[in-house]
Structure 1
């Protein structure tokens, strides 16, 4: 695992000596009086899986649609593989694949016909498409469902078909927008492994998701945005190191009094403490003796202590501190 991580880091470092896959500078997009993108910056290096995160209404979709030249914008610069991106940049658009959040396939067509149709938007000759369609079917694990129509597929298989339609033409840059929404764990794992396989084959990936564990699992770097602005950028570990939030401590106790809970909340390192009658949940600032000091307060009060867990800050903690809300809000 470490050798793979090092190899991927070296690949990204090498890519940084070339032009970025996507370069967005000082992008402004307004809808009347509302500012959707507020001098937004973004650089995605060739060869990386890049996570783009933000709560609903943060500007993610607007930014992506501007990058794809599906929206006009008021100010700023967008370049894809070093070239200006415009509505008529057809050569650039052939190098891009899009897997939208909402499944976009034709119910009247079979699996094979759907993939062939979307591939035909980029590859006009059927003889050239045939091997690409076959490869996409095998990549998505749809060999046994070639003649099925979408209505006969499970949610997970439908998501796989959506991906196959978006990547059949072998794009160099792929946008994945919430590709694992409402799928079973097995299909989710298959989708994530497929994205990593595409990346290892040379594709640059821009990935959005509301599942933090997915982002942490597959993304090389992550950008957090809100209110149309770039808030923070780095690896998952780098982002966690940027915030004041430290560990989260959970302690089973059945006899915590209001006075003891108030004493816990009064501790200097406590950001937030809640008690549901069974578990005390404490979000802490960074500190070396948080757990010892917390247990000391509980013991002094005579509260019984059961199972105890302490975990380091998560990406959701980063999100909460930077944006004031959880990602799913």
Structure 2
């Protein structure tokens, strides 16, 4: 399942610009951080009041009874909790600020990803699939125990050209196939359908979007804190510009690493779900072997044209080097072979 994630560079630089403008032009009480500060300050005050209530003198224990927990130990524990909330409140304010700005900036992108319209996607002409393919689709849905009426399946002319994939699961219930590749042999096509249906059944698209959103926010937050301390000091403009570049690179690395790891986990789970539901490994193995052969043929053709092995983007085993969101073809064949059905 291919998925376009939140572009980090947008909100990274917009957030920096926002902070600069807000600090110099807006009254302090009108900025977004001030609103979040008021909310978190109220929550912290409520916690403090609750702690004071617990620390208040209690009724004396009747003579002849024993208490399990001492008041001293209770005060120490509540005191530590109070100190933790005082230190955590400013961090929570800044994290929520970044998250709110990310959500505000990317709201149109998120809506488009969760509720895609195939006619507005760059996939060429969109058509209904043939009755034979529809029958196979319904059979695969039955094996995965999902109602085929809940999924919209279409074939299109430009999916592989623009998305570099033969099939694409998008949003909650959209499944697209490239018109040329939907004519695969039944065994291979059944696996492709089962794999994409497994993504939809597991709600992988919204989950990946949520992981992307959280990792973007966390990446910006973790990188912004040291940047904030650095810029506040007496530094030259060049040094501060280098710090901003480092902020972007660190945020980008954190986001991509977490997103790619989670994506590979989803792909492996969809592979194993598909072969388990179909009770068949051979279709998947044959398909990935075919992809490896196609990649090796493409690599050889590029080598004949004078490109170096690294420039071909294909290794000696036929794996795409630039595809970080899927397990390698060799790895997929290996764990499918090792799976027990």
Q: Which has the higher helix share?
A: 2
Given the two structures, how large is their TM-score scaled by the length of structure 2? Answer: 0.22
State which structure, 1 or 2, has the greater radius of gyration over its C-alpha atoms: 2
